[in-house]
Amino acid sequence: MVEEDTTIVPLKVSDRVTIMAEAVALGGEERAGVGDLLDFDGVTDAIEAIATSITGTFDKVKPKKAAVEFSLKIGVESGKLTSLLVKGTGEGNLKITLEWGD
């Protein structure tokens, strides 16, 4: 099993809130560390893009009920946050349940 290179980084979630998170180092020229304040916008942008794409599909197939579950892993690449759609094993994880009828 390959060990991941992780680091603890501060994430600016909002103007008033900063959290510490474990992030996977993905490579690149710059390496972020504990002293580097990273912006959470890249992660929230990824969540918004995934949700928008999925709800667009729901609008087409028109289920009566829908549920979506996905996992995001935070990575740091070239000093910036990126999000990875993953399960703990490193495999992608996206669970969608659709229901039609009464």
Alpha helices in 7-97 (DSSP H): 41-61
Asked if residue 1 belongs to a domain, the reply is no
What percentage of the chain exceeds 90 in pLDDT?
17
Q: What is the pLDDT of residues 19-30, one digit of tens each?
A: 777 777 666 544
Asked if residue 24 belongs to a domain, the reply is yes
State the residue range of the domain holding 12: 6-99
Write down the pLDDT at residue 34.
44
Q: How many CB atoms lie within 10 A of CB 86?
A: 17
Q: What is the pLDDT of residues 31-50, one digit of tens each?
A: 444 455 667 777 788 788 88
The total domain count for the chain is 1
The pTM assigned to this predicted structure is 0.57
Of 89, 70, 72, whose CA–CA distance to 22 is shortest?
A: 72
Q: Structure tokens of 94?
A: 């996206």
The answer to whether the beta carbons of residues 49 and 89 sit under 8 Å apart is no
